[in-house]
Amino acid sequence: MTAASKCILVCIDGSELSKSVIDYAIWLAQNSQLSLKFVHTIEHSHTSEIAHKEGNLLPNMTENLLSELSDEERAKSKILIAEGKLILQAAMDKAMQAGLTNTIVKQRHGRLSEALQDLNGDYELVVLGARGKNHAGDTQGLGSQLEDAIRALYSPVCIVKTEFKQPTSLLFAYNGSPTSKKALDFIKKAPFISAQLTLHLVSVHKTSEQAQVLIDEASSFLNGIASPIVSTALVGEVSSAILAYQSENAIDFTVMGAFSHGKLHGFFFGSFTTRMLLEGKTNFLLVR
């Protein structure tokens, strides 16, 4: 990542995970030369509270009903806008308290994926919560818009799943694929990679010899980075092996290539990325 005029784009909605999203975004900004841009989106899916009238409506009745619905929609929109402004102000206040003064906020209308596409090119990294406001109380599932949001991105994305704690460990699952090599390059250039962050370099294959070849390839490329590296060659089913390693080593972040296949492939064969996001206990840094 380069500083330039780009930023870390932070998507918040006032959900249970929003506080952690803000905290991790602040940590990333403090360990890079990137500014923060907080974004709140308002998706209009308004359901009227006005009772439906049965039977045929006379012209003047239709006109009155449409006027009532329009007034109700405007009132609801004003409430959502006001709530969003409070969410954004609280985020900016927290960033300023952490010493980050180059911070801006933006409110958008529409789906999150649409906002990300419109803003594409303005950011180096995006930070999202794994679940939004509609998943209150759900500690396991994923937000309904998450996959569409990730697929709308060309930049790396940080998926927050846990309460904030100072990160000390990073797992990188390397398999030699193009997206995996892109993630490898991301790690080498990322400014937040430091001596305080241990990098666990893991490869999973059918044999330990094949896994070790991948480990050696990645280790050679990462030679000279600030983080101490712990390398491990594993044998077995890929997702199960990585999930077990995450748990056994109390990993804070997992870095990996994401959604290398299209939606149709994922529908028929399942998505490795989705399984990892659902079952993994860490936060994630995904590279598309």
d(CA 286, CA 127): 10
pLDDT tens-digit series, residues 81-129 = 899 999 999 999 999 999 998 899 999 988 888 888 888 777 899 999 9
d(CA 138, CA 136): 6
Task: Read off the pTM.
Answer: 0.83
Residue 139 above 70 pLDDT? no
Buried residues in 60-77 as b, exposed as e (16+ CB within 10 A): eeeeeeeeeeeeeeeeee
Candidate from 40-44, 53-57, 67-71, 220-224 with smallest mean pLDDT? 53-57
Candidate from 42-56, 168-182, 264-278 with smallest mean pLDDT? 42-56
* Residue 141's pLDDT band (cuts 50, 70, 90): low
Q: Where in the chain is the domain with CATH 3.40.50.620?
A: 7-45+80-158, 166-287
CATH number of 7-45+80-158: 3.40.50.620
* Residue found by looking up tokens 């000279």 in the block: 224
Residue 266 above 70 pLDDT? no
d(CA 191, CA 183): 14
Q: 47 or 111: which carries more pLDDT confidence? A: 111
Facing residues of 185 across strands?
none
d(CA 235, CA 223): 24
* Residue 59's pLDDT band (cuts 50, 70, 90): low
- Residue 163: CB atoms within 10 A of its CB come to 11
Buried residues in 256-281 as b, exposed as e (16+ CB within 10 A): bbbbbeeeeeeeeeebbbbebbeebe
| Amino acid (1-letter code) at residue 275 | R
Average pLDDT score over the chain: 83
Q: Give residue 54's pLDDT.
A: 43
Q: What angle do CA 161, 177, 154 make, to 5 degrees?
A: 55
Which CATH superfamily, name and number, covers 166-287? HUPs (3.40.50.620)
Q: Give residue 65's pLDDT.
A: 54
Q: Give residue 270's pLDDT.
A: 43
Q: 157 or 121: which carries more pLDDT confidence? A: 157
Q: 263 or 193: which carries more pLDDT confidence? A: 193
Q: Give residue 267's pLDDT.
A: 38
What average pLDDT does range 151-164 have in this prediction? 89
Q: Give residue 271's pLDDT.
A: 73
